[in-house]
Amino acid sequence: MVINSNYMNKLTTDLKSLHEATLNNLKSSKANNTLRAYKSDFKDFGAFCAKHGLNSLPSEPKIVSLYLTHLSKNSKISTLRRRLVSISMFHKLKGHYLDTKHPIIIENLMGIRRVKGSIQIGKKPILINHLKSIINVINEQKIEEIKKARDKTIILIGFGGGFRRTELISIDHEDLEFVPEGLKISIRRSKTDQYGEGMIKGLPYFTNPNYCPVANLKNWLQISKIKSGPIFRRFSKGSYLSENRLTDQSVVLLMKEYLKLAGIENKNFAGHSLRSGFATVAAESGADERSIMAMTGHKSTQMVRRYIREANIFKNNALNKIKI
């Protein structure tokens, strides 16, 4: 049987096209921040391989296992797992296969976990006392009212909605719907929403308007006169509100600045602290894991259950039964 060369060329071209489309689909399935994290993690892996004369792409399980052992000296188990996912995904994005379930990787991780333990001391959550201290200290600042209004709203909406930083700064005026019960916020895309289905978060009114996310947002929109586009924007010179969206890093710096001004050590807090604070306080207040997940958008119960365990550490504590 003679195969026409034009047919073979077309077949090869079609396969290349399918290959490129598949790689583009893989990239599109991940949020931009996730892709940046993969690249950052893989860059560190690449530097390790270059230093020791090893192949980083494509790599092999033995090399990855050596890298994980190297990392384990100064990193948590959660960091090792994240790096492993990043290395695997980077291989996929470049059209390579890496067996991350190989025994030399899995058993090495099990050994590292036994030696190091898996209890993680993470960053602190923003709890109610922290939240009130931040809002109170913002009110005390000798700055323009428009800046106070923006900063209070960022903190309260971030906490009240259990938002990731990227979700928070991505909110547009078009995503808001005020209803008699409070506020609906449409999230068009988030880290765990890989299919772009979106979700709607509902924030009810608080009894105390000073700490109410909805009341403060209404005040901010009225003062700023924002009618469309990003609701959280940068200030340029003086108190002039620009059209530019606030960055996620700005949220962290802003929060840490006010924690410091409130006399609270800020090094143990991070951008995730507003989100973890919501989950922790909700758990302390008796909210079940399903309702917490409905607000935070967590797809796995693992992290939410951790918040609940930590929140309930003094509830039903056996030591409470001992009378001395």
Q: Is residue 181 part of a domain?
A: yes
Q: Are both 132 and 170 inside the same structural domain?
A: yes
Q: In what order do the strands lie in the sheet with 199-204?
A: 176-179, 182-187, 199-204
Does a structural domain hold residue 12? no
Q: Which of 124, 130, 165, 298 is catalytic?
A: 298
Average pLDDT over all residues of the chain: 86
Q: Is residue 11 one of the residues assigned to a domain?
A: no
Same domain, 94 and 156: no
Buried b (16+ CB within 10 A) or exposed e, 150-171: bbbbbbbbbbbbbbbbbbbbbb
- 145's tokens: 């009212």
Residue 149 above 90 pLDDT?
A: yes
Q: What is the DSSP letter of 185?
A: E
Element (H, E) at 140: helix 128-140
Same domain, 83 and 177: no
Contact 284, 311 (CB under 8 A): yes
What is the structure's pLDDT at 304?
Answer: 79
What average pLDDT does range 203-223 have in this prediction?
A: 96
- The per-residue pLDDT for 76 is 84
Residue 191 confidence class, pLDDT cut points 50, 70, 90 = low
- Known catalytic membership, residue 191: yes
Question: pLDDT category, 84, cuts 50, 70, 90?
Answer: very high
Give the pLDDT of residue 286. Answer: 87
For the stretch 229-273, pLDDT in tens is 999 999 987 778 999 999 989 999 999 999 999 999 998 898 889
Lowest mean pLDDT among 11-20, 92-101, 181-190, 275-284: 11-20
How confident is the model over 37-46, as a mean pLDDT? 89
pLDDT winner (highest mean) among 9-13, 58-62, 188-192, 239-243:
58-62
Handedness of CA 304, 309, 311, 315 (dihedral sign): positive
Report the amino acid identity of residue 143.
I
User: Of 63, 85, 116, which residue sits at a domain end?
Assistant: 116
Angle between helices 32-52 and 61-72 (to 10 degrees): 100
Residue 187 in contact with residue 219, Cβ under 8 Å? no
Query: Does one domain contain both 171 and 270?
Result: yes
Closest of 208, 210, 213 to residue 295, by C-alpha: 213
Domain closes at, from 87, 116, 145: 116
Residue 217 lies in a domain: yes
Do 72 and 196 belong together in one domain?
Answer: no
Is the per-residue pLDDT at 279 higher than 70?
yes
Look up the CATH number of the domain holding residue 142.
Answer: 1.10.443.10
Mean pLDDT, residues 286-298: 85
Tell me whether residue 305 is one of the annotated catalytic residues.
no
Q: Compute the average pLDDT of residues 26-43.
A: 72
SS3 content of the chain, % helix, strand, coil (to 5): 60, 10, 35
Task: Please tell me whether residues 184 and 267 are part of one structural domain.
Answer: yes
Residue 8 falls inside a structural domain: no
The SS3 of residue 187 is strand
| 259 vs 286, more confident | 259
Which residue among 84, 116, 148 closes a domain?
116
* Mean pLDDT, range 16-34, rounded to an integer: 60
Q: What are phi and psi of 143, to 5 degrees?
A: -130, 170
- DSSP class of residue 143 equals S
pLDDT-based confidence at 13, cuts 50/70/90?
A: low
Give 273: exposed, middle or buried? Use CB within 10 Å, 0-12, 13-18, 19+.
buried
Average pLDDT of span 30-38: 70
- pLDDT at residue 23, rounded to an integer: 53
Place of tokens 């340029």: 236
Q: Are residues 104 and 184 in the same domain?
A: no
Residue 104 belongs to domain with CATH number = 1.10.150.130
What's the full length of the chain, in residues? 324
Domain that holds residue 94: 31-116
Unique residue bearing structure tokens 């403060």: 216
User: pTM score, two decimals?
Assistant: 0.69
Distance CA 178, CA 184 (A): 6
**Annotated catalytic residue within 38, 67, 211, 307:** 307
Rounded to an integer, the average pLDDT of 181-198 is: 76
Confidence of residue 123 (pLDDT cuts 50, 70, 90): confident
**In the annotation, is 298 catalytic?**
yes
Which position has the higher pLDDT, 304 or 231?
231
Number of separate domains in the chain: 2
Same domain, 292 and 181: yes
Known catalytic residue: 307?
A: yes
Which one of 83, 91, 130, 275 is the catalytic residue?
275
Token duo for residue 134: 């931040």
Question: Phi, psi at residue 77, to the nearest 5°?
Answer: -55, -40
Helix, coil or strand: residue 242: strand
pLDDT recorded at residue 273 = 92
Annotated catalytic residue within 76, 272, 305, 306 = 272
Do 197 and 57 share a structural domain? no
Nearest CA-CA partner of 310 in 129, 165, 125:
125
In a domain, 26, yes or no: no
* 57 plus 205 within the same structural domain: no
Q: Which of 83, 164, 165, 201 is catalytic?
A: 164
275 in active site? yes
Is 164 marked active-site? Answer: yes
Residue 18 belongs to a domain: no
Catalytic residue among 70, 184, 191, 256: 191
Same domain, 86 and 190: no
Asked if residue 156 and residue 86 are part of one domain, the reply reads no
